[in-house]
Amino acid sequence: MRRHVFLITIALGVVACGGKSAPAGETTPAAPRRLTNVVTADEIAAHGGTNLYDVLRALRPAWFRIQPTHMSGGTVSGDPVSLYVDGRRMGTASLLIDIPLNVVSVVKFYSPSEAQGRFGLNNLSGAIEVTTNSRY
């Protein structure tokens, strides 16, 4: 009885996996992995947006979620995501609209804990860092 259950389990596993394998010596190409905390200049160009704020909102909407940080009078509020350009604090992510798309090399999102470790304690909802290919 145990042997039958074991064989049925193996058969179901093979069926669930599709039962196919690559020929000996061949490997199937892995799909490229997209980093969820990085947007490259190529991704920005491929999106074809008109400003960096709109492009990032479309490509990585989770970056703009404000973390609830304090409660006052029964209302929960939070701090906006911080913006850094070439390592300098610029303000909040709303200023992304002013950065020309053609100067952007890479954009990286830091979680609240990463942002606080990298930039200081006043980054309670995380930070977006834009690295440019020129002095913006």
Question: Per residue in 14-53, pLDDT tens?
Answer: 555 554 555 555 555 555 556 799 999 999 999 988 999 9
CA distance 64 to 109: 10
Q: Write the DSSP symbol of residue 98.
A: G
Residues of the chain with pLDDT under 70: 1-34, 67-77, 135-136
Among candidate residues 78, 76, 86, the one with its CA nearest the CA of residue 123: 78
Residue 110's SS3 state is strand
CATH T-level topology, domain 33-67+78-136: Ferric Hydroxamate Uptake Protein; Chain A, domain 1 (2.170.130)
Match 């074991």 to its residue by tokens. 6
135 SS3 class: coil
The span from the CA of 136 to the CA of 21, in Å, is: 51
**pTM of structure:** 0.69
DSSP element (H, E) containing 106: strand 104-110
Paired sense of beta strands 127-132 and 82-85, if any: parallel
